[in-house]
Chain A
Amino acid sequence: MIRLEKDGFKNFIEELIAEYAVFAPVMKDGKHMFGNISSVEDIDSSRLNTEMSPKEIFFPHSEVLFEYDEDGIRVADGEKKPIAVWGMRGCDARSLRMLDKVFGGDGERPDNIKFEDPYWERRYGDSLIFSVACNEPLSTCFCNWFDSGPHDSAGADIFVVDIGDAFLMDAVSGKGEEFLKGLSGSGKASEKDKKKAAVIAEEAVSLLGKKTDLGELNDKLKGLFHKPIWDSVSAKCVNCGACSFTCSTCHCFDIQDESRKGRGKRVRIWDACMFPIFTKEASGHNPRSLSKERVRQRVMHKYSYFVDNHGEFLCTGCGRCISVCPVNLDIREVIREVLAS
């Protein structure tokens, strides 16, 4: 574990920028989100969670897959530098690991559906993720429900704890270890530093709400598909896409061809199972025409289907869906209701 003085942070970021396309939390038009930074001054760490999740760095809302005209098909080049993300939260770092199971070549999947998404891979594949531990979790945070916590290093390449006057950095992956080896201006963390970090971690954990045991959730859900619970759970939902679009793990997309007179492009665009057109078939029939069917799908995908396919919940407890929902449909309450049914 190394110690980087805050005085040396500017230098650290500058060195990072020289090698990587660096993303960090920024304030853009009054919204706190991840942005490509060109200097340390761009970073804004005033809020705990960014309002949009960092999934958009690796899986953007609208991505041109290729363009075409009379001369042929062209795939846009990827970024020249590998991506480094400073200031990611543990929940978001874990969400990328989940998305990697879907888009990444190394995803744990049956052989017959092995697939590597080149657009994801060229960004996430050689990226360097710095997770900065949450010292003051929000009331919407529920990462502890998923056997994680505010000082969980999973999903990071380098795990960072802010201990006030310095950052402590610990390599989590081989990539992270390589990077820390070559880092200038840092020293080894002392025992005192480590103790301080442990106290901060303990305090952070104590600020979280009570954990709900999700051990039976998947089994419960399996028996509920046709039950009336979805009527009450979905009653207030207005079927907008605010939850899905701010979610760090929702990854459904639509493919559109935008063409005009001999040229065009094929674009991959975020989609949401809340939208009526999401499952509308060419015949005009919609197998999920009702709100409750769509709400059920969202809950099932996160807490049942993904568990069956990939061995974990498709939710990190980041709480963004809770803060943005226009009708305060709190996913924690939905889970509790399912478990109590």
Chain B
Amino acid sequence: MNIQQELRDAARKLLAEGGVDQIIGWSSGSLPMSSTPLFAATKEEADDLIFDATCGSNLTVYFTKDRRQIARDGKKSGVVVKGCDARSIVLNLKENQIKRDDVVIIGVPCDGIIDRSKVEDKTGGREVLEFSDNGKNISVKGRGFDIDIPRTEVLSDSCISCVHPDAGMSDIFIGEPRGEQKTKDQYLSVEQFEELSAEERWERTKQEYSKCIRCYACRNVCPSCYCNECFVDQNDPQWIGKTLDLSDTIIFHVIRNLHVAGRCVECGSCERACPMDIRLLLLNRKVAKEVAERFGMETGVDPDAKPAMSDFREGEKQDFIMG
């Protein structure tokens, strides 16, 4: 049985017998090579559920923030999660944003999510009208082109170095788990960046963040970014300017980064949501690497562990304290 059918069957069963009010998953999007969040409350709606390499949004986001009340109001929701998304669920459970009894976690094994902007680079910006994926290559067709691209060349940066493709915490698991990926170069892109001189790092940073248009798509798709009032939305006092002044823009991104330190699950939603294709993950992964090195912790992997920034252990590396 294919994974799609298994997913739909499980969803129908949960809606019929599991006391679940809705299943939050993905359905096919309105564009080729896209998916869209689906809130399925009936068996018929559950038949629109899909899971494939376009299902990039981290649906945990619908459990967080006051304005995202979809999964709240005493509803019990089933939610379909990839490995990274499950880590977001774990984090939000730890941070008391989700009640365990309100959620049924449906894990799916993930082979990586396609980054649309990388595909567009391959087609020279020509519009993709048909898309298929055989697990090894993707095929994209449009007016005047029909090309096969190895998946590895168009996967999101977050997926290339992914260690945990399976939902670590799930009530139901659909399909075959992929198992932990032993990748030696989990933080390769960060290490390459660290090796650059300070000037080169600054140039790269300036180049990336000067593209920002302050639309906050990165923040708004992030399940770890759920302050009731974000500091950029405060105006009394107002902490930062709202123009495209580079220092203000960078302050927004750096503060966001530090605020999700030890809380970012590196799902890559922010990077895929960015309309300007800013390589946002690099900084997130730099912070994740620091957290891993200092505290030996990966966010949301161990359901019993406290989040890194909420815990203190004797003997922790404290070389940042001036002695």
Which residues of A are at the interface with B, using a C-beta cutoff of 8 A? 29-32, 46-48, 51-52, 61-62, 136, 138-140, 235-236, 238-242, 244-246, 254, 256, 258, 267, 269-270, 272, 275-277, 280, 289-291, 322-324, 326-330, 332-333
Contact = CB atoms under 8 A, between A and B. Distances in A.
A47 B125 contact: yes
B245 A52 contact: no
Contacts of A324: 217, 275
A256 B36 contact: no
Contacts of A272: 215
A214 B7 CA distance: 38
Among A46, A240, A270, A326, chain B packs the most CB atoms within 10 A around the CB of A326
A256 B126 CA distance: 39
Given A61-B244, A62-B243, A256-B241, A139 B273 contact: no
A324 B207 CA distance: 21
B143 interface: yes
A117 B241 CA distance: 24
Given A139-B32, A139-B127, A235-B39, A246 B275 contact: yes
Nearest to A246: B275
B234 to A, nearest CB: 8
Contacts of A32: 125
A186 to B, nearest CB: 30
Contact of A46 (B70, B125, B235): B125
B119 to A, nearest CB: 13
A252 B233 CA distance: 16
Nearest to A294: B67
A235 B39 CA distance: 8
A327 to B, nearest CB: 6
Given A62-B245, A235-B39, A240-B220, A291 B68 contact: yes
Contact of B31 (A246, A280, A290, A322): A322
Interface of B: 29-32, 34-37, 39, 57, 61-62, 67-70, 121, 124-127, 129, 143, 207, 210-211, 213-217, 219-221, 229, 233, 235, 241-245, 269, 272-273, 275-277
Given A328-B36, A329-B36, A276 B229 contact: yes
Nearest to A330: B30
Nearest to A284: B236
A328 B34 contact: yes
17 contacts: A31-B276, A32-B125, A46-B124, A48-B127, A51-B276, A61-B244, A235-B70, A236-B39, A242-B217, A242-B273, A244-B215, A245-B213, A326-B221, A327-B221, A328-B29, A328-B31, A333-B30
Contacts of B213: 52, 61, 245, 270
Given A30-B121, A46-B125, A52-B213, A258 B221 contact: no
Given A269-B243, A322-B30, A326-B221, A236 B121 contact: no
A330 B34 CA distance: 11
Contact of A240 (B36, B207, B215): B215
B277 A326 contact: no
Given A29-B211, A235-B39, A326-B272, A254 B30 contact: no
A263 to B, nearest CB: 15
Nearest to B219: A240
B275 A51 contact: yes
Given A139-B127, A323-B31, A327-B36, 5 more contacts: A29-B210, A61-B214, A140-B31, A241-B216, A277-B235
A241 B216 CA distance: 6
A332 B277 contact: no
Contacts of A246: 275
Contact of A242 (B61, B67, B210, B275): B275
A238 B221 contact: yes
A236 B277 contact: no
A273 to B, nearest CB: 13
Contacts of B273: 240, 242, 326
* In the A-B complex, the 10 residue pairs with the closest CB atoms: A326-B273, A62-B243, A328-B36, A240-B217, A241-B215, A328-B29, A240-B220, A47-B125, A330-B30, A324-B275
A29 B129 contact: no
Nearest to B117: A30
A19 B32 CA distance: 43
Contacts of B124: 46
Given A29-B207, A239-B67, A327 B57 contact: yes
A69 B67 CA distance: 41
Contacts of A48: 127
Contacts of A139: 31-32, 127, 129
Nearest to A60: B244
A298 to B, nearest CB: 14
A53 B30 CA distance: 22
B233 A276 contact: yes
Contacts of B210: 29
A241 B214 contact: yes
Contacts of B275: 51, 242, 245-246, 324
A29 B215 CA distance: 18
B125 A241 contact: no
A328 B35 contact: yes
Given A62-B243, A328-B35, A238 B68 contact: yes
Contact of A61 (B207, B221, B243): B243
A300 B272 CA distance: 29
B64 to A, nearest CB: 10
A76 to B, nearest CB: 14
Nearest to A47: B125
Contacts of B69: 290
B68 A31 contact: no
Contacts of A245: 213-215, 275
Nearest to B129: A139
B233 to A, nearest CB: 4
Contacts of B211: 29, 31
Contacts of B233: 275-277
A290 B69 CA distance: 9
